[in-house]
Structure 1
Protein backbone atom coordinates (compact mmCIF):
# COMPACT_ATOMS: atom_id res chain seq x y z
CA UNK A 1 0.00 0.00 0.00
CA UNK A 2 2.87 2.36 0.85
CA UNK A 3 4.64 1.76 -2.48
CA UNK A 4 1.33 2.25 -4.33
CA UNK A 5 0.83 5.64 -2.65
CA UNK A 6 4.33 6.70 -3.59
CA UNK A 7 3.78 5.77 -7.22
CA UNK A 8 0.55 7.77 -7.27
CA UNK A 9 2.43 10.83 -5.95
CA UNK A 10 5.06 10.44 -8.66
CA UNK A 11 2.35 10.15 -11.32
CA UNK A 12 0.64 13.32 -10.07
CA UNK A 13 3.97 15.16 -10.29
CA UNK A 14 4.44 14.10 -13.90
CA UNK A 15 0.86 15.12 -14.79
CA UNK A 16 1.33 18.51 -13.12
CA UNK A 17 4.53 19.08 -15.08
CA UNK A 18 2.71 18.20 -18.29
CA UNK A 19 -0.09 20.71 -17.59
CA UNK A 20 2.46 23.45 -16.94
CA UNK A 21 4.29 22.61 -20.14
CA UNK A 22 1.05 22.99 -22.06
CA UNK A 23 0.65 26.50 -20.64
CA UNK A 24 4.29 27.41 -21.33
CA UNK A 25 6.09 25.17 -23.82
CA UNK A 26 9.43 26.82 -23.02
CA UNK A 27 9.40 25.51 -19.45
CA UNK A 28 8.35 21.98 -18.58
CA UNK A 29 8.43 22.35 -14.80
CA UNK A 30 7.32 25.48 -12.95
CA UNK A 31 10.02 26.40 -10.48
CA UNK A 32 7.59 27.80 -7.91
CA UNK A 33 5.96 24.41 -7.25
CA UNK A 34 6.84 22.20 -4.28
CA UNK A 35 8.05 18.78 -5.35
CA UNK A 36 8.16 15.54 -3.34
CA UNK A 37 11.71 14.30 -2.75
CA UNK A 38 12.65 10.94 -1.26
CA UNK A 39 16.07 10.48 0.35
CA UNK A 40 17.95 7.64 2.00
CA UNK A 41 21.28 7.23 3.78
CA UNK A 42 22.55 4.55 1.40
CA UNK A 43 22.19 6.38 -1.94
CA UNK A 44 22.91 9.88 -3.27
CA UNK A 45 20.22 11.65 -5.27
CA UNK A 46 21.26 14.07 -8.02
CA UNK A 47 19.13 17.11 -8.85
CA UNK A 48 20.02 18.59 -12.24
CA UNK A 49 18.83 22.17 -12.82
CA UNK A 50 18.71 24.10 -16.12
CA UNK A 51 20.75 26.97 -14.61
CA UNK A 52 23.61 27.31 -12.13
CA UNK A 53 22.80 26.89 -8.43
CA UNK A 54 23.09 30.13 -6.45
CA UNK A 55 21.75 29.17 -3.02
CA UNK A 56 20.69 26.05 -1.09
CA UNK A 57 18.52 26.19 2.03
CA UNK A 58 18.04 23.02 4.11
CA UNK A 59 15.00 22.79 6.37
CA UNK A 60 16.99 20.74 8.88
CA UNK A 61 20.39 19.18 9.42
CA UNK A 62 18.92 15.77 8.56
CA UNK A 63 19.63 16.57 4.90
CA UNK A 64 23.12 16.56 3.39
CA UNK A 65 23.41 18.75 0.30
CA UNK A 66 26.36 19.82 -1.80
CA UNK A 67 27.05 20.98 -5.34
CA UNK A 68 28.75 18.31 -7.42
CA UNK A 69 32.43 19.08 -7.78
CA UNK A 70 33.09 20.85 -11.06
CA UNK A 71 29.37 21.03 -11.97
CA UNK A 72 27.59 24.25 -11.05
CA UNK A 73 24.03 23.09 -11.80
CA UNK A 74 24.03 19.67 -10.10
CA UNK A 75 23.05 19.28 -6.43
CA UNK A 76 23.84 16.05 -4.60
CA UNK A 77 21.47 15.29 -1.71
CA UNK A 78 21.35 12.50 0.83
CA UNK A 79 19.80 11.69 4.21
CA UNK A 80 22.10 12.35 7.18
CA UNK A 81 20.22 9.78 9.27
CA UNK A 82 17.42 7.30 8.77
CA UNK A 83 13.80 7.85 9.77
CA UNK A 84 13.88 11.65 10.01
CA UNK A 85 10.66 13.67 10.11
CA UNK A 86 9.44 15.39 6.97
CA UNK A 87 11.41 18.54 6.18
CA UNK A 88 12.11 20.92 3.30
CA UNK A 89 14.79 21.88 0.80
CA UNK A 90 14.91 25.08 -1.25
CA UNK A 91 17.19 25.81 -4.20
CA UNK A 92 17.60 29.15 -6.00
CA UNK A 93 19.17 29.13 -9.46
CA UNK A 94 20.87 31.80 -11.57
CA UNK A 95 17.67 32.60 -13.47
CA UNK A 96 16.19 33.78 -10.12
CA UNK A 97 13.80 30.83 -9.80
CA UNK A 98 13.05 29.05 -6.57
CA UNK A 99 12.62 25.28 -6.36
CA UNK A 100 10.91 23.97 -3.22
CA UNK A 101 10.98 20.33 -2.12
CA UNK A 102 9.06 18.42 0.55
CA UNK A 103 11.58 15.85 1.76
CA UNK A 104 10.77 12.45 3.25
CA UNK A 105 12.97 9.55 4.30
CA UNK A 106 12.49 6.21 2.52
CA UNK A 107 14.79 3.20 2.49
CA UNK A 108 14.67 2.89 -1.30
CA UNK A 109 13.85 6.05 -3.33
CA UNK A 110 12.07 5.62 -6.64
CA UNK A 111 14.42 8.07 -8.37
CA UNK A 112 18.03 9.06 -7.75
CA UNK A 113 18.49 11.33 -10.80
CA UNK A 114 15.93 14.13 -11.22
CA UNK A 115 16.23 16.64 -14.06
CA UNK A 116 14.37 19.94 -14.34
CA UNK A 117 14.03 20.83 -18.01
CA UNK A 118 13.81 24.45 -19.18
CA UNK A 119 13.21 23.47 -22.80
CA UNK A 120 14.67 21.06 -25.34
CA UNK A 121 17.25 19.63 -25.26
CA UNK A 122 17.55 18.21 -21.72
CA UNK A 123 19.83 20.20 -19.38
CA UNK A 124 23.49 19.33 -19.62
CA UNK A 125 25.92 19.42 -16.73
CA UNK A 126 27.50 22.89 -16.53
CA UNK A 127 31.23 22.39 -16.05
CA UNK A 128 32.84 25.24 -14.20
CA UNK A 129 35.36 27.38 -16.03
CA UNK A 130 38.85 26.06 -15.23
CA UNK A 131 40.14 29.51 -14.28
CA UNK A 132 42.64 28.08 -11.79
CA UNK A 133 45.91 26.44 -12.72
CA UNK A 134 45.70 22.90 -11.36
CA UNK A 135 49.46 22.39 -11.44
CA UNK A 136 49.89 25.55 -9.35
CA UNK A 137 47.21 24.43 -6.90
CA UNK A 138 49.02 21.12 -6.42
CA UNK A 139 52.38 22.84 -6.01
CA UNK A 140 51.23 25.27 -3.31
CA UNK A 141 49.08 22.67 -1.53
CA UNK A 142 52.25 20.60 -1.18
CA UNK A 143 54.09 23.63 0.25
CA UNK A 144 51.30 24.30 2.78
CA UNK A 145 51.39 20.68 3.90
CA UNK A 146 54.95 21.23 5.18
CA UNK A 147 54.27 24.56 6.92
CA UNK A 148 54.45 24.65 10.75
CA UNK A 149 51.29 25.16 12.78
CA UNK A 150 50.26 28.84 12.80
CA UNK A 151 46.61 28.84 13.96
CA UNK A 152 45.57 27.88 17.49
CA UNK A 153 42.27 27.48 19.28
CA UNK A 154 40.20 26.11 16.38
CA UNK A 155 39.57 22.49 17.37
CA UNK A 156 36.81 19.96 17.96
CA UNK A 157 36.94 16.46 19.45
CA UNK A 158 34.67 13.45 19.86
CA UNK A 159 35.23 9.88 21.09
CA UNK A 160 39.05 9.79 21.01
CA UNK A 161 39.28 11.70 17.73
CA UNK A 162 40.00 15.36 17.07
CA UNK A 163 39.84 17.82 14.16
CA UNK A 164 41.83 21.05 14.11
CA UNK A 165 42.75 23.97 11.86
CA UNK A 166 46.55 24.30 11.89
CA UNK A 167 47.02 27.10 9.38
CA UNK A 168 45.50 29.46 6.80
CA UNK A 169 47.63 30.54 3.86
CA UNK A 170 47.01 32.57 0.73
CA UNK A 171 48.52 32.77 -2.72
CA UNK A 172 46.97 34.94 -5.42
CA UNK A 173 43.19 34.36 -5.27
CA UNK A 174 43.33 31.02 -3.44
CA UNK A 175 43.16 30.38 0.33
CA UNK A 176 44.74 27.15 1.60
CA UNK A 177 43.43 25.54 4.81
CA UNK A 178 45.77 23.18 6.65
CA UNK A 179 43.68 20.67 8.61
CA UNK A 180 44.67 17.93 11.03
CA UNK A 181 42.70 14.79 11.95
CA UNK A 182 43.98 12.84 14.96
CA UNK A 183 42.64 9.39 15.82
CA UNK A 184 43.55 8.13 19.31
CA UNK A 185 41.24 5.10 19.19
CA UNK A 186 41.82 1.54 18.04
CA UNK A 187 39.22 2.00 15.28
CA UNK A 188 40.23 3.61 12.01
CA UNK A 189 38.49 6.87 11.03
CA UNK A 190 37.12 6.63 7.49
CA UNK A 191 36.40 10.13 6.16
CA UNK A 192 33.15 10.48 4.24
CA UNK A 193 33.41 14.21 3.49
CA UNK A 194 34.99 17.54 4.44
CA UNK A 195 32.72 20.46 3.55
CA UNK A 196 32.93 24.24 3.87
CA UNK A 197 29.98 26.56 4.60
CA UNK A 198 29.59 30.28 5.21
CA UNK A 199 26.90 30.62 7.89
CA UNK A 200 25.20 33.33 9.91
CA UNK A 201 26.28 33.58 13.55
CA UNK A 202 22.73 34.02 14.82
CA UNK A 203 19.65 32.12 13.66
CA UNK A 204 16.13 32.81 14.83
CA UNK A 205 14.60 29.74 16.47
CA UNK A 206 12.60 27.50 14.10
CA UNK A 207 13.87 29.27 10.99
CA UNK A 208 15.65 27.42 8.18
CA UNK A 209 19.41 27.10 8.12
CA UNK A 210 20.94 29.93 6.07
CA UNK A 211 24.22 28.86 4.52
CA UNK A 212 26.35 29.05 1.41
CA UNK A 213 28.60 26.12 0.53
CA UNK A 214 32.05 26.71 -0.97
CA UNK A 215 33.45 23.90 -3.10
CA UNK A 216 37.21 23.23 -2.81
CA UNK A 217 39.34 23.82 -5.88
CA UNK A 218 41.87 21.20 -4.85
CA UNK A 219 42.52 18.71 -2.04
CA UNK A 220 45.90 17.41 -0.89
CA UNK A 221 45.94 14.28 1.28
CA UNK A 222 47.59 10.90 1.21
CA UNK A 223 44.40 9.01 2.09
CA UNK A 224 40.81 9.40 3.21
CA UNK A 225 41.47 6.92 6.00
CA UNK A 226 43.03 7.85 9.35
CA UNK A 227 44.36 4.65 10.87
CA UNK A 228 44.13 3.74 14.54
CA UNK A 229 46.40 5.82 16.79
CA UNK A 230 47.60 8.02 13.96
CA UNK A 231 47.43 11.60 12.67
CA UNK A 232 46.94 12.87 9.15
CA UNK A 233 47.28 16.32 7.59
CA UNK A 234 45.10 17.66 4.79
CA UNK A 235 45.20 20.81 2.68
CA UNK A 236 42.07 22.23 1.05
CA UNK A 237 42.35 25.03 -1.52
CA UNK A 238 39.32 27.34 -1.73
CA UNK A 239 38.64 30.44 -3.83
CA UNK A 240 39.46 33.65 -1.95
CA UNK A 241 36.55 35.06 0.04
CA UNK A 242 35.77 37.03 3.19
CA UNK A 243 32.79 36.86 5.53
CA UNK A 244 30.60 39.63 6.93
CA UNK A 245 30.76 40.55 10.62
CA UNK A 246 27.72 38.37 11.33
CA UNK A 247 29.07 35.31 9.52
CA UNK A 248 31.70 32.61 10.01
CA UNK A 249 33.22 29.71 8.09
CA UNK A 250 32.09 26.26 9.19
CA UNK A 251 34.22 23.22 8.28
CA UNK A 252 32.36 19.93 8.66
CA UNK A 253 34.11 16.56 8.92
CA UNK A 254 31.87 13.48 8.68
CA UNK A 255 32.86 9.91 9.43
CA UNK A 256 31.66 7.24 7.00
CA UNK A 257 29.42 4.67 8.71
CA UNK A 258 30.14 6.25 12.07
CA UNK A 259 29.09 8.98 14.48
CA UNK A 260 32.34 10.83 15.17
CA UNK A 261 31.31 13.92 13.21
CA UNK A 262 33.41 17.02 13.93
CA UNK A 263 32.98 20.72 13.17
CA UNK A 264 35.24 23.78 13.15
CA UNK A 265 34.06 27.40 13.35
CA UNK A 266 36.50 29.85 11.78
CA UNK A 267 36.06 33.58 12.41
CA UNK A 268 36.48 36.27 9.77
CA UNK A 269 39.44 37.63 11.75
CA UNK A 270 41.39 34.40 11.33
CA UNK A 271 40.63 34.25 7.59
CA UNK A 272 41.88 37.78 6.90
CA UNK A 273 45.03 36.95 8.91
CA UNK A 274 46.04 34.29 6.36
CA UNK A 275 49.79 34.06 5.81
CA UNK A 276 51.40 34.47 2.39
CA UNK A 277 53.14 31.48 0.83
CA UNK A 278 56.65 32.12 -0.39
CA UNK A 279 57.05 31.20 -4.05
Structure 2
Protein backbone atom coordinates (compact mmCIF):
# COMPACT_ATOMS: atom_id res chain seq x y z
CA UNK A 1 0.00 0.00 0.00
CA UNK A 2 2.80 2.40 0.92
CA UNK A 3 4.53 1.72 -2.40
CA UNK A 4 1.36 2.60 -4.32
CA UNK A 5 0.99 5.88 -2.41
CA UNK A 6 4.65 6.66 -3.07
CA UNK A 7 4.20 6.06 -6.80
CA UNK A 8 1.11 8.31 -6.84
CA UNK A 9 3.02 11.08 -5.06
CA UNK A 10 5.86 10.82 -7.59
CA UNK A 11 3.34 10.97 -10.44
CA UNK A 12 1.69 14.09 -8.95
CA UNK A 13 5.07 15.77 -8.45
CA UNK A 14 6.06 15.08 -12.07
CA UNK A 15 2.69 16.37 -13.28
CA UNK A 16 3.09 19.59 -11.30
CA UNK A 17 6.61 20.02 -12.67
CA UNK A 18 5.31 19.68 -16.23
CA UNK A 19 2.34 22.04 -15.83
CA UNK A 20 3.86 24.70 -13.57
CA UNK A 21 4.61 27.99 -15.29
CA UNK A 22 8.23 28.97 -15.72
CA UNK A 23 9.37 31.49 -13.12
CA UNK A 24 11.49 34.45 -14.12
CA UNK A 25 14.31 35.68 -11.87
CA UNK A 26 16.18 38.99 -12.16
CA UNK A 27 19.54 37.37 -12.92
CA UNK A 28 17.99 35.59 -15.90
CA UNK A 29 16.47 38.67 -17.50
CA UNK A 30 17.91 39.92 -20.81
CA UNK A 31 19.77 43.24 -20.59
CA UNK A 32 19.10 46.37 -22.61
CA UNK A 33 21.34 49.42 -22.60
CA UNK A 34 19.93 52.89 -22.06
CA UNK A 35 21.72 56.24 -22.26
CA UNK A 36 20.86 59.46 -20.46
CA UNK A 37 19.32 62.06 -22.75
CA UNK A 38 18.38 59.51 -25.42
CA UNK A 39 14.97 57.84 -25.67
CA UNK A 40 14.88 54.05 -25.93
CA UNK A 41 11.98 52.76 -28.03
CA UNK A 42 10.75 49.21 -27.34
CA UNK A 43 8.80 47.91 -30.34
CA UNK A 44 6.17 45.25 -29.71
CA UNK A 45 4.74 42.85 -32.34
CA UNK A 46 1.25 43.42 -30.90
CA UNK A 47 -0.57 46.22 -29.02
CA UNK A 48 0.91 46.93 -25.59
CA UNK A 49 -1.50 46.63 -22.66
CA UNK A 50 0.74 48.36 -20.13
CA UNK A 51 4.37 49.07 -19.17
CA UNK A 52 5.83 48.88 -15.66
CA UNK A 53 9.05 50.68 -14.66
CA UNK A 54 10.44 49.43 -11.36
CA UNK A 55 12.22 52.62 -10.26
CA UNK A 56 11.85 56.41 -10.44
CA UNK A 57 15.11 56.49 -12.40
CA UNK A 58 13.07 55.57 -15.47
CA UNK A 59 10.07 57.24 -17.05
CA UNK A 60 8.16 56.65 -20.26
CA UNK A 61 4.98 56.72 -22.29
CA UNK A 62 3.20 54.99 -25.19
CA UNK A 63 3.40 57.21 -28.32
CA UNK A 64 1.58 54.46 -30.27
CA UNK A 65 -0.15 51.25 -29.26
CA UNK A 66 2.87 49.07 -30.11
CA UNK A 67 5.80 51.30 -29.06
CA UNK A 68 6.97 52.05 -25.52
CA UNK A 69 9.26 55.09 -25.16
CA UNK A 70 11.58 54.92 -22.13
CA UNK A 71 14.19 57.37 -20.84
CA UNK A 72 16.36 57.98 -17.79
CA UNK A 73 15.16 60.69 -15.45
CA UNK A 74 17.12 62.47 -12.76
CA UNK A 75 14.29 64.79 -11.86
CA UNK A 76 13.81 65.08 -8.11
CA UNK A 77 10.75 65.79 -6.10
CA UNK A 78 10.45 69.09 -4.19
CA UNK A 79 11.39 67.47 -0.86
CA UNK A 80 14.76 66.27 -2.19
CA UNK A 81 15.43 69.64 -3.83
CA UNK A 82 14.82 71.47 -0.56
CA UNK A 83 17.32 69.18 1.15
CA UNK A 84 19.77 69.93 -1.68
CA UNK A 85 20.31 66.24 -2.38
CA UNK A 86 22.45 65.76 -5.48
CA UNK A 87 20.93 63.76 -8.38
CA UNK A 88 22.10 60.18 -8.75
CA UNK A 89 25.17 59.76 -10.98
CA UNK A 90 25.22 56.62 -13.13
CA UNK A 91 28.29 54.79 -14.42
CA UNK A 92 28.73 52.31 -17.23
CA UNK A 93 27.19 48.98 -16.34
CA UNK A 94 24.99 50.27 -13.50
CA UNK A 95 21.63 48.53 -13.20
CA UNK A 96 18.95 51.21 -13.36
CA UNK A 97 15.79 49.13 -13.02
CA UNK A 98 13.47 46.53 -14.53
CA UNK A 99 11.31 47.29 -17.56
CA UNK A 100 8.19 45.14 -17.97
CA UNK A 101 6.15 45.21 -21.18
CA UNK A 102 2.83 43.34 -21.34
CA UNK A 103 1.21 42.66 -24.69
CA UNK A 104 -2.05 40.92 -25.52
CA UNK A 105 -0.51 37.44 -25.28
CA UNK A 106 2.91 37.85 -23.65
CA UNK A 107 4.97 39.51 -20.94
CA UNK A 108 8.59 40.59 -21.57
CA UNK A 109 11.01 41.87 -18.91
CA UNK A 110 14.43 43.49 -19.23
CA UNK A 111 17.21 44.75 -16.99
CA UNK A 112 17.99 48.35 -17.92
CA UNK A 113 21.78 48.86 -17.91
CA UNK A 114 23.35 52.33 -18.04
CA UNK A 115 25.67 53.19 -20.92
CA UNK A 116 27.32 56.62 -21.19
CA UNK A 117 26.71 58.93 -24.12
CA UNK A 118 30.33 58.82 -25.27
CA UNK A 119 29.75 55.47 -26.95
CA UNK A 120 29.10 55.50 -30.69
CA UNK A 121 27.00 52.33 -30.34
CA UNK A 122 24.14 53.88 -28.39
CA UNK A 123 20.97 51.78 -28.62
CA UNK A 124 17.89 53.80 -29.63
CA UNK A 125 15.35 51.04 -30.28
CA UNK A 126 14.84 47.31 -29.82
CA UNK A 127 12.27 44.83 -31.10
CA UNK A 128 10.85 42.40 -28.57
CA UNK A 129 12.11 38.99 -29.66
CA UNK A 130 10.21 35.68 -29.21
CA UNK A 131 12.83 34.39 -26.76
CA UNK A 132 12.11 37.33 -24.43
CA UNK A 133 8.36 36.64 -24.36
CA UNK A 134 6.52 34.60 -21.76
CA UNK A 135 2.97 33.67 -22.80
CA UNK A 136 0.09 35.00 -20.74
CA UNK A 137 -3.63 34.48 -21.17
CA UNK A 138 -6.05 37.11 -19.98
CA UNK A 139 -9.60 36.24 -19.00
CA UNK A 140 -12.08 37.30 -21.65
CA UNK A 141 -14.32 40.04 -20.30
CA UNK A 142 -18.07 39.63 -20.52
CA UNK A 143 -19.95 42.89 -20.16
CA UNK A 144 -23.55 43.33 -19.09
CA UNK A 145 -25.97 45.41 -21.15
CA UNK A 146 -25.64 48.13 -18.52
CA UNK A 147 -21.87 48.27 -19.08
CA UNK A 148 -22.30 48.16 -22.87
CA UNK A 149 -24.76 51.06 -22.61
CA UNK A 150 -22.21 53.07 -20.60
CA UNK A 151 -19.52 52.48 -23.24
CA UNK A 152 -21.98 53.36 -26.02
CA UNK A 153 -22.94 56.59 -24.21
CA UNK A 154 -19.25 57.48 -23.92
CA UNK A 155 -18.94 57.06 -27.70
CA UNK A 156 -22.08 59.05 -28.50
CA UNK A 157 -20.59 62.03 -26.64
CA UNK A 158 -17.61 62.07 -28.99
CA UNK A 159 -17.89 64.40 -31.99
CA UNK A 160 -16.91 61.96 -34.71
CA UNK A 161 -19.62 62.61 -37.31
CA UNK A 162 -17.65 65.22 -39.26
CA UNK A 163 -14.91 62.83 -40.41
CA UNK A 164 -16.64 59.49 -41.03
CA UNK A 165 -14.75 56.39 -42.15
CA UNK A 166 -17.29 55.65 -44.91
CA UNK A 167 -20.34 57.40 -46.40
CA UNK A 168 -22.99 56.14 -48.84
CA UNK A 169 -25.64 58.41 -50.39
CA UNK A 170 -28.78 57.51 -52.34
CA UNK A 171 -32.49 58.52 -52.48
CA UNK A 172 -31.64 61.72 -50.58
CA UNK A 173 -30.40 59.51 -47.76
CA UNK A 174 -26.96 59.32 -46.23
CA UNK A 175 -25.57 56.31 -44.36
CA UNK A 176 -22.25 56.90 -42.65
CA UNK A 177 -19.89 54.91 -40.46
CA UNK A 178 -18.44 57.50 -38.09
CA UNK A 179 -15.94 55.25 -36.36
CA UNK A 180 -15.16 51.75 -35.11
CA UNK A 181 -14.16 51.11 -31.50
CA UNK A 182 -12.99 48.00 -29.72
CA UNK A 183 -12.81 47.03 -26.07
CA UNK A 184 -11.88 43.51 -24.99
CA UNK A 185 -13.77 41.15 -27.36
CA UNK A 186 -16.40 43.70 -28.39
CA UNK A 187 -16.66 45.84 -31.53
CA UNK A 188 -18.69 49.06 -31.47
CA UNK A 189 -19.95 50.59 -34.73
CA UNK A 190 -20.81 54.30 -34.48
CA UNK A 191 -23.31 55.08 -37.27
CA UNK A 192 -25.35 58.08 -38.41
CA UNK A 193 -28.36 58.12 -40.76
CA UNK A 194 -29.35 61.35 -42.48
CA UNK A 195 -32.58 62.03 -44.36
CA UNK A 196 -32.38 65.02 -46.73
CA UNK A 197 -35.90 64.56 -48.10
CA UNK A 198 -39.18 65.88 -46.70
CA UNK A 199 -40.45 62.33 -46.16
CA UNK A 200 -39.74 60.83 -42.76
CA UNK A 201 -38.05 57.43 -42.70
CA UNK A 202 -39.51 54.33 -41.01
CA UNK A 203 -36.88 51.65 -40.49
CA UNK A 204 -38.00 48.13 -41.32
CA UNK A 205 -34.55 46.64 -40.70
CA UNK A 206 -30.88 47.44 -40.43
CA UNK A 207 -29.08 44.30 -41.57
CA UNK A 208 -25.42 43.36 -41.12
CA UNK A 209 -23.85 40.50 -43.04
CA UNK A 210 -20.49 39.19 -44.26
CA UNK A 211 -20.57 38.76 -48.03
CA UNK A 212 -18.25 38.14 -50.97
CA UNK A 213 -16.56 41.28 -52.25
CA UNK A 214 -17.01 40.13 -55.86
CA UNK A 215 -20.09 38.14 -56.84
CA UNK A 216 -19.72 36.25 -60.12
CA UNK A 217 -22.98 34.33 -59.83
CA UNK A 218 -25.86 34.91 -57.47
CA UNK A 219 -25.83 31.24 -56.49
CA UNK A 220 -22.16 31.48 -55.43
CA UNK A 221 -22.69 34.32 -52.98
CA UNK A 222 -22.27 33.22 -49.38
CA UNK A 223 -23.91 35.59 -46.92
CA UNK A 224 -23.43 35.27 -43.15
CA UNK A 225 -25.87 37.37 -41.17
CA UNK A 226 -24.50 39.27 -38.17
CA UNK A 227 -26.79 40.21 -35.30
CA UNK A 228 -25.76 42.97 -32.87
CA UNK A 229 -25.52 41.94 -29.23
CA UNK A 230 -26.68 45.39 -28.22
CA UNK A 231 -27.83 48.68 -29.73
CA UNK A 232 -28.01 51.92 -27.82
CA UNK A 233 -31.28 53.21 -29.26
CA UNK A 234 -34.11 50.92 -30.52
CA UNK A 235 -35.64 53.83 -32.46
CA UNK A 236 -37.46 52.82 -35.68
CA UNK A 237 -38.41 56.25 -37.05
CA UNK A 238 -36.53 59.46 -37.82
CA UNK A 239 -37.21 62.65 -39.75
CA UNK A 240 -33.76 64.11 -40.39
CA UNK A 241 -30.83 62.69 -38.39
CA UNK A 242 -30.41 59.56 -36.31
CA UNK A 243 -27.20 58.34 -34.65
CA UNK A 244 -26.81 54.96 -33.00
CA UNK A 245 -24.20 52.52 -31.63
CA UNK A 246 -24.23 48.81 -32.55
CA UNK A 247 -22.21 46.29 -30.55
CA UNK A 248 -20.91 42.94 -31.84
CA UNK A 249 -18.75 40.18 -30.44
CA UNK A 250 -15.32 40.32 -32.06
CA UNK A 251 -15.34 38.93 -35.59
CA UNK A 252 -12.92 38.60 -38.49
CA UNK A 253 -13.30 38.07 -42.22
CA UNK A 254 -10.86 37.72 -45.16
CA UNK A 255 -9.99 40.46 -47.63
CA UNK A 256 -12.15 38.71 -50.25
CA UNK A 257 -15.26 39.59 -48.21
CA UNK A 258 -16.88 42.75 -46.86
CA UNK A 259 -19.20 43.68 -44.04
CA UNK A 260 -22.44 44.70 -45.77
CA UNK A 261 -24.76 47.10 -43.97
CA UNK A 262 -28.28 47.57 -45.39
CA UNK A 263 -30.80 50.14 -44.24
CA UNK A 264 -34.29 49.09 -45.40
CA UNK A 265 -37.42 51.24 -45.28
CA UNK A 266 -40.70 49.83 -44.01
CA UNK A 267 -42.89 50.71 -46.99
CA UNK A 268 -43.47 48.43 -49.97
CA UNK A 269 -41.50 50.66 -52.34
CA UNK A 270 -39.13 51.61 -49.56
CA UNK A 271 -35.77 53.30 -49.96
CA UNK A 272 -32.83 50.97 -49.36
CA UNK A 273 -29.22 52.05 -49.00
CA UNK A 274 -26.16 49.80 -48.69
CA UNK A 275 -22.61 50.23 -47.41
CA UNK A 276 -19.60 47.94 -47.81
CA UNK A 277 -17.01 47.97 -45.01
CA UNK A 278 -13.58 46.49 -45.65
CA UNK A 279 -11.80 44.50 -42.96
CA UNK A 280 -9.04 47.13 -42.96
CA UNK A 281 -11.60 49.59 -41.51
CA UNK A 282 -12.26 47.18 -38.63
CA UNK A 283 -8.54 46.66 -38.02
CA UNK A 284 -8.10 50.43 -37.56
CA UNK A 285 -10.60 50.45 -34.70
CA UNK A 286 -9.94 52.91 -31.87
CA UNK A 287 -9.78 51.88 -28.23
CA UNK A 288 -11.52 53.79 -25.45
**TM-score when normalising by structure 1:** 0.49
Instruction: Give the TM-score normalised by structure 2.
Output: 0.48
Higher relative contact order (CA 8 A, sep 6+): 1
